[in-house]
Amino acid sequence: MYEEIVKYLTPVLGDATAANLVRHYCARMRLSADDINPSNLQQLADGMRPMLAVWLGSAGAAKMADQLGQLRKGVAAR
C-alpha cells in the first residue's frame, strides 16, 4: 500500500517528498511503511492532513486525505 500512496501523492508533492512524508507519518504512528493496510490507512491520511495543508491549503488537504482513505476500500484515488 505504501507504493500506492506515494504514487498518488507524487504528482502534487514530487516523488522524494511524497515518500518522505509517508515514511515520517508512519514513524509517528510507530508503523513500518510496509505495514500500511486498509485498517490504518484512514488514520495515516488524517495524520498527514496538516502537512498536506501546507502545500494544498486546508480544502485541498481535506480532499486528498479523504481520497487516500478511499484506497482502503479498493477505490482508485484521483
Nine-digit cell at 13? Answer: 508533492
Task: State the Cα–Cα distance between residues 36 and 51, nearest whole angstrom.
Answer: 19
Task: State the Cα–Cα distance between residues 74 and 57, nearest whole angstrom.
Answer: 26
Q: List pLDDT tens digits, range 21-62.
A: 999 999 999 999 999 998 899 999 999 999 999 999 999 999
Give the number of other Cβ atoms within 10 Å of residue 2's Cβ.
16
| Total-model pTM | 0.84
Q: List pLDDT tens digits, range 62-74.
A: 999 999 988 866 6
